[in-house]
Each structure stands twice: as C-alpha cells, then as structure tokens.
Chains A and B, each alone.
Chain A
Amino acid sequence: MTPTTTWYLVLSALLFTIGTVGVLVRRNPLVMFMCIELMLNAVNLSFVALSKRLLDIDGQSIVLFVLVVAAAEVVVGLGIVVAIMRNRTTFTADDLAELKG
C-alpha cells in the first residue's frame, strides 16, 4: 500500500486548517506569523504532490517562488513588529488599536 496523491492533499488540507485556526486563536503577532508559514507550507506540499501526479515540473518552480516570497514577507513583517514594539511592553495583536476612531 503506497501513499497516493490524495493522501498528500488531505495532509495539506489538515496543515492549512491548523494554520488558519492558529491565526484566528492566537494573539501574539509572532505566533500568528508562524501560523501563516504553516499555511504556506501546506500549499507548497500540495503543489509538489500535484507536480508529481500531473508529471509537470511547473509545480516545483512555483514552490521555489513561494519560498522566496515567504522569506521577503517574514523579513518585512518582523521589521514592522520590531518597529512597533520598540516603545511598548505589552505584546498582543489586540493592543494595536491606535488607528481606531
């Protein structure tokens, strides 16, 4: 019994769901970023699995680009977090309500 593409896609769906629930539940911005990384990894996994299934190398090329964009996203996001948190002691996403009217 060998794992088929469907198994990989189901695992990818599970990982994506866990990431979504994490973004919704956690309040620490850093942990929310980690959950976004989980979602990106789930999508990468499904791209690679479908690349094998459809015999098409384009899926793997796209995963490479997703990796680059994820790295850039994390760099900018953590830069924003550092800039915001420099003058603060508390650290939850709910505290960032300065723009509220």
Chain B
Amino acid sequence: MELFVFVCAAAMCLVGAVGVIVRRNPVHAALSLVLTLFGVAVLFVAQEAHFLAAVQVIVYAGAIVVLFLFVIMLLGVDRAEDLRTEPLVAQRSLAALVGVGLLALLLTAVIRGSDVLTVRGRGLATQLEAENGDANIAQLARSVFGDYVVAFELTSVLLVVAVVGTVLLARRRRAGTGEPS
C-alpha cells in the first residue's frame, strides 16, 4: 500500500514537473505545477506531515498558483511560446549537461550519505501513537511557537514588507510628476 501511494505520487510529481518545462502555454505550465504540488502534498501525508500537506495545498495550490494565473491573465501572455527555436547557441545542450551533472552529484550524495544518517531528534509522534489521531501537529506547534518563535515573528514582518513593497511597486505612477496617482 505504501509502495503504491509512493509510486502514484512520485509519478504525479514527475509528470507535472516535466509538464512545467515542456508546455508551450504558460497556463498549461501553471496547471502542471498544480499536479506536482498535489503529488508533493500526498508524499507529505505519507511521511507523517499532515499539517504541512494541508498548508501545501492551501498556500501553494490555493494562493501561489492562483497568483501566477492571475498575472498571466492580467498581462495577456497566455499565448503559446515557440519552443522550437533555440534562443542562444547550444543553450539547450549546455542546460542538459548541467542537469545531468547536477543529478549525478545529488544522487552520489544521497547514496553515499544514506548510511551516515543517525537519529538526532527526540522522536516524532506518529499517527499510530497519538491518542487523538492528529499525529505530530501539537509537536510542530510546540517547535514553531517555542523554539523558533523569533523566526516565526520575523516571517510575519517579512510578509508585511513584501505586501507593502509589492503595492508600491505595482502602482501606476502619473506621468511627469513621479507622484503615485
């Protein structure tokens, strides 16, 4: 059963990821990205990260991809891009070379490093052990609001700064005066 879930979710992720980079239409690429994000959310559930799976669906699929689609529609760039012409000489072959090299590097690190992983935490509450069945959400809350509370507050500052900056950036300026209209 676990194997079946992993294979299905991994296939979703890979098909979506390849779709993002080979689809000519940006809208199709965004929809392929949704497929990948859902696959990753399924894998989060399989790895006992239920809260993160919910956040993944809400934040990524619900907010970020909608923002992408909104900007695509707003700018009217939802026409297909011609992917046959290569913009720079040998760009694609060099990119493929970089990709193969990076993959070889990462796989080497994963395979060679897999036997040096040692348990360092205080244990992870799993769905089976928890009496009320909500896995490690309470544990995650204790970590975020306890150990990392300063970082958590800083992320709220970051979000406010990002929103204010984007509003200022995207405002239309009146010609000549430089004053925001």
Contacts and interface: CB of A to CB of B under 8 A. Distances in A.
Interface in A17-65: 17-22, 24-28, 30-31, 33-35, 37-38, 41, 44-45, 48-58, 60-61, 63-65
Contacts of B162: 72, 75-76
Interface string B8-40: 001001100110110000100110010011001
Q: How large is the interface on B (under 10, 10 to 19, 20 to 34, 35 or more residues)?
A: 35 or more
Contacts of A51: 47, 49, 121, 124
Interface residues of A, number: 71
B98 A74 contact: no
Contact of A69 (B18, B26, B107, B155): B155
A27 B3 CA distance: 37
Contacts of A61: 140, 143-144, 147-148
A17 B98 CA distance: 9
Given A20-B98, A28-B26, A55 B158 contact: no
Most buried by B among A16, A20, A41: A41
A9 B110 contact: yes
Contacts of B96: 21
A50 B117 contact: yes
B17 A38 contact: yes
Interface string B27-69: 0011001001100100110111101100110011001100110
Given A15-B36, A38-B33, A71-B64, 13 more contacts: A13-B103, A14-B14, A15-B14, A17-B99, A24-B94, A25-B92, A30-B30, A30-B68, A31-B26, A45-B44, A60-B51, A76-B162, A83-B170
Interface of A: 1-3, 5-11, 13-22, 24-28, 30-31, 33-35, 37-38, 41, 44-45, 48-58, 60-61, 63-65, 67-72, 74-76, 78-83, 85-86, 91-92, 94
30 contacts: A6-B110, A11-B10, A11-B13, A15-B17, A16-B106, A17-B103, A21-B98, A24-B95, A25-B21, A25-B91, A30-B29, A30-B30, A31-B20, A34-B33, A44-B52, A45-B40, A48-B44, A52-B47, A54-B118, A58-B121, A58-B143, A63-B52, A64-B55, A67-B55, A68-B155, A69-B158, A71-B64, A78-B71, A78-B166, A91-B75
